[in-house]
A and B are shown apart, each in its own frame.
Chain A
Amino acid sequence: MTQLVLEQLLNGLQFGLMLFLIASGLTLVFGIMDMINLSHGSLYMGGAYLGAAAAQASGSFVTGLLAAMLGMAVIGIVLELLLLRKLYRRDHLTQVLATFALILIANDLVRMIWGPQPLLLNPPAALAGPVELFGFSYPAYRLLIIAVGLLVALCLYVLVSHTRVGMWVRAGAANRTMAECMGVDVRWLFTGLFALGAALAAAAGTLLGPLLAVQVGMGESILILAFVVIVIGGIGSIRGALVGALLVGIVDTLGRALLPTLLRTVSSPEVAGHLGPALASIMIYLLMAAILFWRPQGLFPARA
């Protein structure tokens, strides 16, 4: 039992860190420009496809990962300059319409280029096997994801809280107009941020590729999870995104693994069999509703 819990905790940590890669870009876009970007999931999907295609072509997973990040960063910059820039001053409804249109376009484009079949992405050969860890075996590839996730989280933390650029970002999130008055060029800062967010989403897409399927529509389910994460953490806060992502990742993974078993101990097997999976899949939404109920601004509100 302890071993199962420990293993699921690691899985939850790994999933949470990947959610953080996706949510960190989303929360900054949302927090600084007050912009609802539904197409962030499409950046994740695009990254996964680019990564899988580049990895297949070059035979190297690392090349695929780097190509995906670079490619999506460029696409992100183009998208920001051509379209999103025009949307910041519009209302939320217009942003929903435009970015929903982007989802439709992205899904069909991907289908057009790579076809409707899911793409196969293999983990690097050196990491395909399991490793011994605290007396049980754990897939080496998942450990790599955890390590990369932690590294990126650390880099982002240093970038946001210990550099001048990070200071601008925080100032922009707390009060954009005031930051502009103090001479921060929020427009270009934002183009850069959007590119960074796109690259991080692409990294998550490629890293999760070997574990989940690389297919059309993969962005839609993860997008909602990313929104849950940033609403829990507080819109615009990187720290909130990290805490929210880990909470969502661990609660979701542990809930799915343990809830049905736990329910069986307190109720009849029949009830548990029906209720367990349903309850497990809505745990994170319950968590979000509860947090919004008691702390309507999320755990770490970015705006004072």
Chain B
Amino acid sequence: MNKSRRGNFVEAGVLLAAAGLPFILLALGEAFYIGFATRLLIFALAATSLNFIVGYGGMVAFGHAAFFGGGAYVVAFLMQAGIVSAWIAWPLAILATVVAALAIGALSLRTRGVYFIMITLAFAQMIYYSIISLQSAGGDDGLPLAQRSTLAPLDLASDTTLYWIALATLAICLIALRRLARSPYGRALAGLRQNEQRMEALGFPVDRLKLVCFVIGAGVAGLAGALLANQEGLASPNLLYWTQSGMLLVMVILGGVGQRYGGVLGALVLLGLEEALGQITEYTHLVIGLALLAVVLFAPHGLAGLARRRRA
């Protein structure tokens, strides 16, 4: 009890510090980094949503880019059609990814293991190629946003406001996902991870439980995509390509599969490393790749697992 209360204090402290970050950056005259920090938060959100599917639902989905990039494209399409309000565009982005995830998940969950990995990958690639062959979606160049979404009464055009929105979204999603993991539904998912056949024998609708998990993760990714389109001012096809799914998966594994802050940690470390290395070398991916190999060989349960082991 005492330990969990101390954990709550730490979390509240981190949240406060994160909320105050823009003031520090502005005081230091590094306003550029507010945009970068926003990107970090958005990728942390996307990685967290994938961690829900992989870590809590036990499904290795290799097509998360479809939902992440999909959310971004929905916002860009709506903007093109003249719908600027985030109150309409963002829920629609979530709705679109949820519908897509329902269809993809229902078909993919007929398969297991390696075949599930491959079929989610195939669906994501279908969406990627469909979008880039559409002239109206800007093809290889992506679809630029004429402006940021409007979120009355807030002023999203301000970088600081967008940062806070991203932070609030991440915090709310983390709390909601934790509650979900502790609910009867979350307990059923934990049972599924341990023994699917036993859960089926106990009368749980196994496939439906997994589908719901897949759809929730996809919806959150769609929201993250909507945020990212606003941050970058562009819905880029790179967001839909399979290497993006790989990157998100790498973040999750790096941070710790099924760990509450695994996705956040992985995104912070990977993007932070990329930014820091970018200052000193042109070959950032070479160094990151070597670091990832070191993690594979020396920290089998990811960074969160490493911290946990140190504490024990």
Contact = CB atoms under 8 A, between A and B. Distances in A.
A120 interface: no
Contact of B118 (A98, A231, A281): A231
A104 B110 contact: no
A282 B117 contact: no
Given A98-B292, A101-B293, A104-B288, A278 B129 contact: yes
A108 B285 contact: yes
Interface in B87-135: 107, 110-111, 113-115, 117-119, 121-123, 125-126, 129-130, 133-135
Contacts of B123: 285, 289
B109 to A, nearest CB: 11
Contacts of B20: none
Contact of B293 (A34, A83, A112): A83
Contacts of B243: 103, 220
A210 to B, nearest CB: 24
Nearest to B285: A104
B297 A86 contact: yes
Contacts of A235: 114
A281 B250 CA distance: 27
Given A92-B117, A97-B295, A281-B133, A105 B54 contact: no
Contacts of B300: 90, 94
Given A36-B114, A93-B253, A100-B250, A224 B125 contact: yes
Contacts of B285: 104-105, 107-108
B121 A292 contact: no
Given A96-B246, A104-B286, A296-B110, A288 B292 contact: no
B289 A224 contact: no
B135 A274 contact: yes
B110 A282 contact: no
Interface in B292-312: 292-293, 295-297, 300
Main secondary structure of the interface of B (DSSP, over half): helix
A94 B297 CA distance: 10
Interface in A29-44: 30, 34, 36, 38
A228 interface: yes
A98 B293 contact: yes
A38 B243 CA distance: 10
B115 A296 contact: yes
Interface residues of A, number: 44
Contacts of A87: 296
A97 B118 contact: no
A112 B257 contact: no
Contacts of A112: 283, 286
Contacts, number: 127
A278 B133 CA distance: 5
Contact of B292 (A101, A281, A292): A101
A278 B139 CA distance: 11
Most buried by A among B54, B253, B296: B296
B226 interface: no
Nearest to B288: A104
A206 to B, nearest CB: 24
A288 B122 contact: yes
B220 interface: no
A282 B129 contact: yes
A134 interface: no
Interface in A209-267: 220, 224, 227-228, 231, 235
A285 B290 CA distance: 33
A296 B108 CA distance: 10
A285 B60 contact: no
A257 to B, nearest CB: 15
A286 interface: yes
A87 B254 CA distance: 16
B293 A285 contact: no
B65 interface: no
B45 interface: no
B221 interface: no
Contacts of B288: 101, 104
Contacts of A281: 129-130, 133
User: For B113, B118, B257, which residue has the most chain A Cβ atoms within 10 angstroms?
Assistant: B118
Nearest to B55: A93
A114 B180 CA distance: 50
B30 to A, nearest CB: 28
B51 to A, nearest CB: 11
B214 interface: no
B267 interface: no
Contact of B257 (A93, A105, A289): A93
A101 B296 contact: yes
6 contacts: A96-B246, A96-B249, A103-B246, A103-B289, A104-B288, A292-B110
Top 9 A-B pairs ranked by shortest CB distance? A101-B292, A105-B289, A104-B289, A108-B286, A281-B129, A104-B285, A101-B289, A278-B133, A277-B133
Given A97-B296, A104-B288, 8 more contacts: A86-B297, A96-B62, A96-B249, A104-B292, A274-B134, A274-B135, A278-B129, A282-B130
